[in-house]
Amino acid sequence: MPDQPDTHVRTVSDRVARIHWSPELSERGWQAAVDVVRRDVAAALVDHDRVEALVAVDDAQSHRIATWSGLRREGVQRGVDGDRVVYARLVDDVPVHEPHGFRALLNSFLPRKRAISQMLIRDTSPEPRVLLCQLTYKTDWDLPGGVVEVGESPQLAVAREVEEELGLEIAAGQLVLTDWLPPWGGWDDALCLVFDGGTHDPSLVGRIVPQAREIRSAEFCTLAEVDERAADFSARRIRSALANLGGGPAYTESGR
C-alpha cells in the first residue's frame, strides 16, 4: 500500500485551493514541514489565485508551519466542531524574502489591540465638572469618544467622534492618560487614550446636537455625579485623568 502524501491540495472554488498537511508532517519538525508546505503552496499558485489553510486554534505547531510557509493569517472561522484559523496566500502577494513581504507576513499574525479615544472636556464652574454622555446602548454614562479606526490617528479619531456624536468641533489637546482595559463581558482587552478637550463655558451643552443612534443626552457632571452615573472603572479613569492634567501622559489599568 503506497504511503499517504504529507500534504493534500484540492480546489474548493474557482481558482481557490485549500492545503492540508498530515500530523506526521508536523511531527518531523516545523522547519522540515515548512519546506514541504511552502513548495506545495507555490505549486498550487501556478493554477490558482489563492491557496488557504484552516488550522485548529489549539494546533500550535501547524500555526507555526502555516506562518513560516508564507501564509498570512486572515481571521478565525467559527464552527460547531471547533474554530479554525484561516491562513492564505494570494498569487500577487509580495514574496516573503522581500522586506515588504516579510513585514506583511509578520503584521498578519502579531497581536493587535483595540484602541479607544476619549476626550476630557471640562467647564468653568468652581467645582470640577466633566462632560458625560448618556448612551443609547448601555446604562452607564461615559466620556465622549469612540473606537479608533484602522490606520487612524487616535488624536484625530476623538475629535472626529466628538463632532459626529455631539456636533461639536473641539480639537484634541495633549494626551492625559493611557488606561488599559482588561478583557471584560465578551470584549477583548483594549487601550483607552484620554485627550484633553480643554475648559469651556457651561453654555457649551446648548450647542450639542446628539447623534440619536448613540447619544441620548450630554451634561457637565460633578465628580459625585460621575461616580453615580458612570461605571466604576470609567469613574476611576476620569479621576485619574483630572489628577494628571498638566502632568504629562500617565498610565493606569482599569483606572487604577
**pLDDT means over runs of 10, the chain (256 residues):** 72 97 86 93 97 96 94 96 97 94 93 95 95 95 96 97 97 96 90 97 96 96 97 96 88 93
Q: Provide the residue type at 58 as one letter.
A: D
CA separation for the pair 109, 132 (Å, rounded): 37
**Taking a C-beta distance cutoff of 8 angstroms, is the pair 195, 155 a contact?**
yes
CB atoms within 10 A of CB 173: 14
Residue 240: what are its φ and ψ, rounded to 5°? -65, -40
Q: How many helices (H) and strands (E) does the chain have?
A: 7, 12
CA separation for the pair 233, 231 (Å, rounded): 6
CA separation for the pair 240, 185 (Å, rounded): 23
pLDDT of residue 213: 94
3-state SS, one letter per residue, for 204-228? HHHHCCCCCCCEEEEEEEEHHHHHH
Q: Which CATH number fits domain 7-109: 3.90.550.10, 3.40.630.30, 3.20.20.450, 3.10.450.750?
A: 3.40.630.30
The pTM for the full model equals 0.84
pLDDT of residue 246: 81
**Taking a C-beta distance cutoff of 8 angstroms, is the pair 237, 252 a contact?**
yes
pLDDT of residue 184: 86
**Taking a C-beta distance cutoff of 8 angstroms, is the pair 176, 167 a contact?**
no
User: pLDDT tens digit string along 31-50?
Assistant: 899 999 999 999 999 999 99
> Which cell is 20 given?
492540508
CA separation for the pair 42, 31 (Å, rounded): 17
CA separation for the pair 100, 96 (Å, rounded): 8
pLDDT of residue 2: 45
> Which cell is 80 given?
460547531
What are the extents of the domains in the chain? 7-109, 114-253
**Taking a C-beta distance cutoff of 8 angstroms, is the pair 238, 120 a contact?**
yes
Q: Which residue has the cell 471584560?
A: 184
CB-based contacts of 15: which residues, under 8 Å, 6+ apart? 47, 48, 49, 50
- Fold classification of 114-253 is Nucleoside Triphosphate Pyrophosphohydrolase (3.90.79)
CA separation for the pair 228, 251 (Å, rounded): 24
